[in-house]
Amino acid sequence: MAEPLLAIRGLAKRFGGLRATDGVDLAVAEGETHAIIGPNGAGKTTLIGQLAGDLRPDAGTMRFGGRDVTALDAPARSRLGLARSFQITSIFRDLTVLDNVALAVQAHAGHSFRFWRPARADQALGAPARAVLASVGLDTRADVLAANLAHGEQRQLEVAMALATKPRLLLLDEPVAGMGLEESQRMVRFLGALKGRLTIVLVEHDMDVVFMLADRVSVMVYGRIIATGTPAEVRANAAVRKAYLGEDTAA
Amino acid sequence: MRRRPRALVIVAGLLLLALVPPAAAALDQPFYVDLFRRMMIFALAALSLDLILGYGGMVSFGHAAYLGVGAYAVGILGFYGIESGFIQWPVAILASALAALVIGAVSLRTSGVSFIMITLAFAQMLYYLGISLETFGGDNGMPLRTRSRFGPLDLRNPYAFYYLVLALLTLLLFLGSRFVNARFGMVIRAAKSNEPRARAIGFSPYRYKLTAFVMSGGMCGLAGALLANQTEYLTPDFMHWTRSGEIMFMVILGGIGTLFGPVVGAVVLLLLEDVLSALTAHWQIILGPFLVLVVLFAKRGLFGLVPEAGERRG
């Protein structure tokens, strides 16, 4: 079998006495959409932070695209093709929507020690940025300040920024959090269309979203992955029902 | 055609500055050439601070250090008989850029209040270093033997010196506007706006911020070289923290992150100081509340009151 695109072994992070992640093993194959579910406080966001390179693990290794990336920081991982969205919307609020996406293009277009040509007139940045905006349906909002977008649009912008880096792996931390029903359905359709073209790791509370999108699901409880399998397998797993689904289906 | 009110104000402002010497001559008030030249030198220092403060979010509270390093470079070289400006000024720029490299390399590993305090501490260290340099006058300072020599361009001619400063200010405003709008400028803006986001999309902001910091230090060093020639005197007071505060106030008063705002801020602040101190010895009692009012009611500074071209909100 080919090496998985993402492979982590024994990943651990402690915050004082709290073991946020406690020996996580996970393998995600190229093209797979892999959801990570679990009750609040299970360590899912910590795991995303470790995958993205924001949090240094206390133990464990991570391989991505066939190389060991354990020691690489977030910018270096991004340049290798690992893109993320944040649970709490994180955008450049005081720049325009187009600027936000063009910056993501720029970060992957060589070094930025360029002092002369105006970046906003540079079609090498603007054209791909507009194409990505059109793909998420934000093209008519290109010149608006990002801060003035509606909440759902800001979530779309997050995803657009991640996509503009041409990632191999997309880490999505609750992409439909705080969205209305209609926006949320649109986002799910959009992510569904990405399925297969990209590898996606998705942390999500909304079980409908998870079961609609995921090829495989991992269940995380107290910093450990207690089960991994297809959505049907996970739903049938007794330990999972006990630890999670039974008590938290309303979330 | 798009209306560009800010560009109009900038062109008008620079033209007015160009008209100061003939106006002063016509009014028989040569003193104003001296005053406005001083304003432009501080405008250059404030502009250099705005590049990193306004666009990169780096609150350097020790910018007077580079002013001092530039001035000392000119004064010390002159003291040892090297009077050519072609040597003095590049040395002033390089020495202050080097100081900024060392200070920035350390300070930029911190952020927020720590960054402010560390830049302030470094500047105070240089201030005390200046005081301890007895050879160069210690805390009394020392007069310059002569202004920098530039071949046929004689800086002892107040008009020649004035237009050289104006030309440098115009050039650096232009260069600054290229640099904040180029890819480089977009990176430091992104890092100011949201550093975790900038890292997540693949930027390593530290090296860009440090580069901007060094460029800003070098530019402020040039202002220091000009200031030494302006006052024809070298003193550690150039580096005192109150001077750093004054430069920062010029930026805030004129408008952070606007490039031309700091020029407006420098002119207004120094003009007020001049006018009010002629009225009363207690002029700071009037100046203080005025500045507070500006900050309260014009949050984007005086130049920020002029609308931007194509500004769209929505």
Q: If pLDDT is split at 50, 70 and 90, which confidence band does A249 have?
A: very low
Closest residue on chain B to A160 (Cα): B201
| The pLDDT of residue A250 | 42
B3 touches chain A (CB under 8 A): no
Q: Under CATH, which number does the domain A1-81+167-251 receive?
A: 3.40.50.300
DSSP one-letter string for chain B: ----HHHHHHHHHHHHHHHHHHHHHHTT-THHHHHHHHHHHHHHHHHHHHHHHTTT----S-THHHHHHHHHHHHHHHHTT--BHHHHHHHHHHHHHHHHHHHHHHHTTS-HHHHHHHHHHHHHHHHHHHHH-GGGTGGG-EE-SSPPEETTEETTSHHHHHHHHHHHHHHHHHHHHHHHHBHHHHHHHHHHH-HHHHHHTT--HHHHHHHHHHHHHHHHHHHHHHHHHHHTEE-GGGG-HHHHHHHHHHHHHH-TT-SHHHHHHHHHHHHHHHHHHHH-TTTHHHHHHHHHHHHHH-TTTTGGGSPPTT----
Contact flag A112-B186 (C-beta cutoff 8 Å): yes
Q: Mutation target for A interface from B55, B172, B184, B186: give the one with most A CBs within 10 A.
A: B186
B308 touches chain A (CB under 8 A): no
B199 touches chain A (CB under 8 A): yes
B201 touches chain A (CB under 8 A): yes
Instruction: Give the one of B184, B196, B201 whose C-beta lies nearest to A114's C-beta.
Output: B184
Instruction: Give the one of B190, B193, B202 whose C-beta lies nearest to A79's C-beta.
Output: B202
B197 touches chain A (CB under 8 A): yes
Whether residue B31 is predicted with pLDDT greater than 90 in this model: the reply is yes
| The pLDDT of residue B298 | 86
* Mean pLDDT, residues B286-291: 87
> b or e along A17-54 (b: 16 or more beta carbons within 10 Å of the residue's beta carbon)?
eebbbbebebbbbeebbbbbbbbeebbbbbbbbbbbbb
B198 touches chain A (CB under 8 A): yes
ipTM of the complex: 0.92
B208 touches chain A (CB under 8 A): yes
Instruction: Give the one of A79, A92, A162 whose C-beta lies nearest to B190's C-beta.
Output: A92
Whether residue A88 is predicted with pLDDT greater than 80 in this model: the reply is yes
Q: If pLDDT is split at 50, 70 and 90, which confidence band does A237 have?
A: confident
Mean per-residue pLDDT of chain B:
94
| Lowest mean pLDDT segment, chosen from A101-110, A206-215, B18-27, B214-223 | A206-215
pLDDT digits (tens, 9 = 90+) for A21-52: 999 999 999 999 999 998 888 889 899 999 99
Contact flag A115-B184 (C-beta cutoff 8 Å): yes
| The pLDDT of residue A1 | 56
Contact flag B203-A107 (C-beta cutoff 8 Å): yes
Which segments of chain A belong to CATH 3.40.50.300?
1-81+167-251
pLDDT digits (tens, 9 = 90+) for B4-19: 889 999 999 999 999 9
Whole-structure pTM value: 0.93
Whether residue B1 is predicted with pLDDT greater than 50 in this model: the reply is no
Whether residue B56 is predicted with pLDDT greater than 70 in this model: the reply is yes
Percentage, residues of chain A above pLDDT 90: 72
Contact flag B193-A94 (C-beta cutoff 8 Å): yes
Closest residue on chain B to A93 (Cα): B193
Instruction: Give the one of A90, A125, A144 whose C-beta lies nearest to B197's C-beta.
Output: A90
Burial (CB count within 10 angstroms: exposed 0-12, middle 13-18, buried 19+), residue B282: exposed
Contact flag B182-A95 (C-beta cutoff 8 Å): no
pLDDT digits (tens, 9 = 90+) for A166-202: 999 999 999 888 888 888 998 999 999 998 889 999 9
Closest residue on chain A to B181 (Cα): A118
Contact flag A106-B313 (C-beta cutoff 8 Å): no
